[in-house]
A and B are shown apart, each in its own frame.
Chain A
């Protein structure tokens, strides 16, 4: 792409990894789940 673009503050891949592991941690300690905020699907 020829237009110079502003660099994002964090690479989207790493952002996804951080968010996913935050969600995993919240689910593992019980903040999310049957005894916390119940996420059903």
Chain B
């Protein structure tokens, strides 16, 4: 590539990144404005406007922005400026600045137990079912990791371990977001109908919904304590990505002839979600009274902005085009496993957080 071409390509990337960033921020401000307007009014059937909180509007406006950008043929161009995971991780660290360490400690045992049961149960169920449907082994590994651990991040980590094709990752990522968006809205409604406590509901969202952004969204819609517990449970699950990625790499390396060097345990640290350490540090500083991210503070407002940006980005990233290339058979498997995941997580969250390790 000549230097003039290289400069042109760099400028194009910068333009796309800034454009994507500007669109995300504009939609986030619009979502904030709409949620404030709706929050002040009473909706039909006596539903208070406040019930429709910002995650809903942010995701909805993200999807609308997605449709509009596609119509203008600009979505692909602006994609480099859309950063769901980054905004989400910033929001999670900021959330830590309002969570007392005692809550993390008291929820940790239950969160670890639930994560171990959920990951092993859902992973092997998905692996078995996908095998019955005759799916490719690498697609099975990526899907099982995504649905049992934490959606997009786990799909990417597993794909790196098993050397899956790029299309398989984008396909699973699209599926994860497509299923997570309705679950983010439906789960709090179901939890309310079932009369679940904030703790059990939060643990359920953390165990059931695949992608962390939607877990936080569902928790926010249900209540403050639910948001915190959902985040703790999901973060605990996230920390196990590294271990699963390592085991998958080991399994595929042993099966594939000439796979080269065996994977090292270093992959466990490489795949470890470091933002969890930031979340814990922020919580320690909050518990010591050094910082305050509690209700009504500037840090809480920053956290809400970060999450709004993440929800908007999630809507912007939604894509259907991958389904054409890979067909609808994996969709069936994914939906069936999600159904299994929903019921298993409800039972496990209820038993663990009501009977075994209740959180005060």
Measured in the bound complex, the distance between the Cα atoms of B275 and A17 in whole Å is 6
Chain B: interface secondary structure? helix
Q: Does B282 contact A (CB under 8 A)?
A: yes
B169: A residues at CB distance < 8 A: 1
- Name A14's closest neighbour in chain B (CB-CB): B274
B165: A residues at CB distance < 8 A: 1-2
CB within 8 Å for A24 and B291 given contacts A16-B275, A41-B32? yes
- Name A28's closest neighbour in chain B (CB-CB): B291
- Name B95's closest neighbour in chain A (CB-CB): A20
Chain A nearest CB, measured from B321 CB (Å): 18
Please pick, from A12, A15, A32, A34, the residue contacting B302 in the complex, using a CB distance under 8 A. Answer: A32
A15-B93 in contact (CB<8A):
no
Chain A nearest CB, measured from B154 CB (Å): 14
B293: A residues at CB distance < 8 A: 24
A39-B89 in contact (CB<8A):
no
A3-B166 in contact (CB<8A):
yes
Chain B nearest CB, measured from A11 CB (Å): 7
Chain A nearest CB, measured from B302 CB (Å): 5
Q: Please, what's the 1-or-0 string for B260-296, where 1 marks a CB less than 8 Å from any CB in chain A? A: 0000000000000111011000100000000111000
Q: Please, what's the 1-or-0 string for A1-41, where 1 marks a CB less than 8 Å from any CB in chain B? A: 11100000001111111011101100110001110000111
Please pick, from B89, B163, B292, B304, the residue contacting A13 in the complex, using a CB distance under 8 A. Answer: B89
Interface residues on B, range: 35 or more
B90-A16 in contact (CB<8A):
yes
CB within 8 Å for A20 and B282 given contacts A13-B89, A32-B302? yes
B277: A residues at CB distance < 8 A: 17
CB within 8 Å for A1 and B163 given contacts A17-B277, A20-B282, A23-B94? yes
Q: Does B333 contact A (CB under 8 A)?
A: no
A1: B residues at CB distance < 8 A: 159-160, 163-166, 169
Please pick, from B85, B93, B298, the residue contacting A39 in the complex, using a CB distance under 8 A. Answer: B298
CB within 8 Å for A20 and B94 given contacts A39-B298, A39-B305, A41-B301? yes
Interface CB pairs A-B, < 8 A, 20: A1-B163, A1-B164, A2-B165, A11-B274, A12-B86, A13-B89, A16-B89, A16-B90, A16-B278, A17-B89, A17-B274, A17-B275, A19-B86, A20-B306, A23-B94, A28-B299, A32-B302, A33-B298, A39-B302, A41-B305
- Tell me the B residues contacting A by CB distance below 8 Å: 32, 54, 85-86, 89-90, 92-94, 97, 159-160, 163-166, 169, 273-275, 277-278, 282, 291-293, 297-302, 304-306
6 new A-B contacts, CB < 8 A, other than A1-B163, A20-B90, are A13-B278, A15-B86, A28-B299, A39-B301, A41-B32, A41-B305
